[in-house]
Amino acid sequence: MRTVDEIRGELQRYEHPLFVFDADIGYGDEPRLLIRLRTPIDGVPVYRLPLHPRDLEGPQFPWSLQRMLYAALYDYMADMFLKTPQSREAPSAFPKDP
């Protein structure tokens, strides 16, 4: 299995104006991908994605990591919504005309 340093090395190939990418060890001694805002905002947590050993061991690791990174970015951005039409505090999915 790849080490956290190897994962970090691969993540150094990515640069984004809004996000910083890193890796560390999570629960059960499994590596995980970390995504945080380059400029922190109160209430926006660090996104943590456990990395499965089968994804880390394969010969296509760089491509697997890219796929996971892109999917995680999508999930992270969607998790940042403060309100959606489906939110419980929203009075109605469709606003009434004035």
Residue 55: Cβ-neighbour burial (10 angstroms; 0-12, 13-18, 19+): middle
* pLDDT value for 91: 53
Domain boundaries, the chain: 4-79
* pLDDT value for 29: 86
> Would you write out the chain's pLDDT as a tens digit for each of its 98 residues?
688 999 999 999 999 999 999 999 988 888 999 999 999 999 899 999 999 888 888 888 999 999 999 999 999 999 998 888 888 764 544 455 44
- pTM recorded for the entire structure: 0.81
* pLDDT value for 94: 47
DSSP state of 29: G
* pLDDT value for 27: 86
* pLDDT value for 84: 87
